[in-house]
Structure 1
């Protein structure tokens, strides 16, 4: 019998703030001396991190939000924090990752028929291990908890609530409109045993005078019998995004970052072509937090009207390479005269060719041409590299002048080899010319050393001077904790006096 109390942070819809509330609770409880750990039974995301495997040895993959929440909780992230991960790869298929290891590619119906029971068992075992080591588990749900067509197989929400004996916090985003109807409707559509577990409601992203909401809050509590734990103001703590809904559509542009009042003449723009199967796009978020740097997602067929280009990872390099070539991106990259960085799949795409492409792609083409900006070829095979790494940067190309240790992680299919001599940025790994860099290292720009070198290179190439130094701000974990600090946690049994009285 587990001793931990589990709180499930569920939502009325996707992207309502569940990840932020969960991370904030993890940091808030950890700062109070509570042993806390995050958990998400099943995730669907191509933004993943390499962490220690909780079962056996080696490393495995988990969704980025649980990695972030583990850091907020002050614990080392393991595969138990997200035991089931689905990584969409195109054509209606997802790669199934269980306990950090790839378990095959499945269409949605096939997964529920042949893989779901195994996934549920793995999730329950992972929760039991965490619950035996911690006082509180902060579990995060997925999407809406009230998807009535999925309630018999909703692992992240319904099943987690049951096998974890969880109290539920229902999160709703007021900025979407109709927040009261969303909350009442969600509660009404829950199975009876799950409805009884809803211990409180949190309304997020509110702008304005909270007193104007009070009549609605009172009516809401009367209709549902569920207390409102608090109303959170609109704020972005700066946590990495996980859901694909946070990305612009493939045919739309969007800009990340706040210019902090920097004049246009002292800003630079980094273009990020929007791959249809983009993954680990959180790699570019640290750049968007640098004063004066604008990070702009652009469609594959859009002009590269920017000072630099970053190619992100992709869950399917081959199919995205074909899409990029057809859209004319190859020609625009060859003509581009600023710094270009490719990370993981982006690195592979910058090379001369992709071999055994039918292993990675969804078609039967064996060889696919790359952009040809780096003298590299990549050969795919079924084995997958998953590992956290720390390497010594020997600055070259767009990272020239920087040297020292950098940390990150590798998650990729295929291995790349040089076809001719070229600069190597990391201990004989990666490739670089004067203006082009390719690396497998996810998390590159989370390292201040590499981030600052790249920003210097972009400003130098653009012929502009930087407005100010890249200075660190308060951590996003502390900002998330501050955001949820005014919530009434007593109905959840998470008030300090309740926790201190536990056995």
Structure 2
């Protein structure tokens, strides 16, 4: 059986640019006729997407980065692209998803003691299927490849390098400082068999004069024998964030979006920072629009904004309790602008949560919601995971939008109407006044819905929406452009032109 060449994009730390480099390589190779597929053996993220199961039996979950990388490669994402997914839910416990299907909630010790071997075999088989079906597999590592406390159970890095017979491309972020120490230290700490697989290194997020860096590049290569295959400029191609590393702490605030627009023409959208927030990538399309600032705020802070978006949450019940205790319920009831709740945020906007399991007690009961939408959510062991396409009949903060929108659902619990109310998506969602809720993740990736919402935000704020500069280009193409200059010869490819 033919076997693809596998390249493992590993890092010296988290958030050094592995996902972007992997996506850029997928798009670059695909543009040149290479049949390429992404892979990440084990991901830990609450930013997930619903995709087709590799066995063709329904749908499952994978991390958002592998969904993005599959799009960059021009192929349909499946659960083989991320066969093991850990979704943190607080207090050291995560939901384990294998081949797209949730199999239980486990603390880290129980996972490594009782389920890691099964996870490894799941990942190995998934990679084998991809390697048999494609010419190249671009695998992404997780965190640092040099975590010596995890060397006997590092599925996304060391184990992938071994069972995939992969060449390793080491990525380090110069913006963090100490880039050469990070590279040398990582190489020193690698097991000998994996160290031999490192074919080169890439430095990301570089600003300034390359000539100043040259002596360090030469010294590193002389010391280690590992070539620097590229120095990538600082840029953000606009790919969704893989995990919560970029989110502010629970007691801090942070703003993303365009700060270059005159204050008189800008609007701010507040996003309360749930302790167990998930799928926060849902708000990123808003932050990419000129004049729109998305501000993550602590649950106990004022909603000093023109609109509010409540994101999903891995545990609606406990985040509802935290939101109520932080005073968010009252501030939402008093808020005068548009409010949109997505998935868990939709559930929280309702009257109550029934059959709610309260963390740490083992008890179930009723937890009150904000009461802005006449819905009741009842939880059960069943989980909905599916891509969806719906007819949007604009109402509430989406008034004026009419047409087809697409996205995905990943949620526990079902919501029922307690009284007649406008329904923006047929049998999904509810709208009352300027408040709207839906289970549809990816809502604002649809231009139709995004434009209607922002028009309503500007109207409610009494501001004039600025003219935009147009499309900034495909984030996949921008990621491919970013890797221009990487010498792919040691990986078996010609130099990127």
The TM-score range, normalised by the shorter chain, is over 0.9
Aligned to 2:275: 276
Aligned to 1:149: 149
Aligned to 2:184: 184
Structure 1's 36 and 233: CA in aligned 2 closer, same or farther, altered over 3 A?
Answer: same
Query: What CA deviation, in whole Å up to 9, does each residue of 1:266-325 have, x standing for no partner?
Result: 100000000000000000000001111110000000100000000000000000000000
1:149 partner SS: helix
Query: What CA deviation, in whole Å up to 9, does each residue of 1:438-478 have, x standing for no partner?
Result: 00000000000000000000001001110015832201000
**Partners in 2 of 1:411 and 1:132 — Cα distance?**
30
**Partners in 2 of 1:442 and 1:224 — Cα distance?**
46
Aligned to 2:319: 320
Instruction: Please give the residue correspondences for 1:154-165 in structure 2 after superposition, counting only pairs within 5 Å.
Output: 154-165=154-165
**Partners in 2 of 1:215 and 1:363 — Cα distance?**
60
Tell me if structure 1 keeps the 8 A contact 2:385–2:411: yes
Query: What CA deviation, in whole Å up to 9, does each residue of 1:205-251 have, x standing for no partner?
Result: 11100111111101101111110001111100000001211111111
Match status 1:174 vs 2:174: yes
Structure 1's 362 and 149: CA in aligned 2 closer, same or farther, altered over 3 A?
Answer: farther
State the Cα distance separating 1:262 from its structure 2 match.
1.7
Aligned to 1:367: 366
Tell me if structure 1 keeps the 8 A contact 2:97–2:103: yes
Structure 1's 459 and 241: CA in aligned 2 closer, same or farther, altered over 3 A?
Answer: same
Match status 1:349 vs 2:348: yes
Aligned to 2:456: 457
Tell me if structure 1 keeps the 8 A contact 2:43–2:142: yes
State the Cα distance separating 1:493 from its structure 2 match.
0.8
Match status 1:475 vs 2:474: yes
**Partners in 1 of 2:358 and 2:380 — Cα distance?**
6
Aligned residues: 496
State the Cα distance separating 1:360 from its structure 2 match.
7.9
Match status 1:339 vs 2:343: no
Instruction: Please give the residue correspondences for 1:50-449 in structure 2 after superposition, counting only pairs within 5 Å.
Output: 50-259=50-259, 261-358=260-357, 363-449=362-448
Structure 1's 414 and 248: CA in aligned 2 closer, same or farther, altered over 3 A?
Answer: same
**Partners in 2 of 1:44 and 1:361 — Cα distance?**
22
Aligned to 2:28: 28
State the Cα distance separating 1:486 from its structure 2 match.
1.1
Task: Note the residue ranges of structure 1 that are not aligned, 5 or more in a row.
Answer: 498-503
Query: What CA deviation, in whole Å up to 9, does each residue of 1:165-191 have, x standing for no partner?
Result: 000000000111111000000000000
Tell me if structure 2 keeps the 8 A contact 1:30–1:74: yes
- What is the TM-score with the length of structure 1 in the denominator? 0.97
List structure 1 runs of 4+ shifted beyond 3 angstroms.
359-363
Structure 1's 305 and 289: CA in aligned 2 closer, same or farther, altered over 3 A?
Answer: same
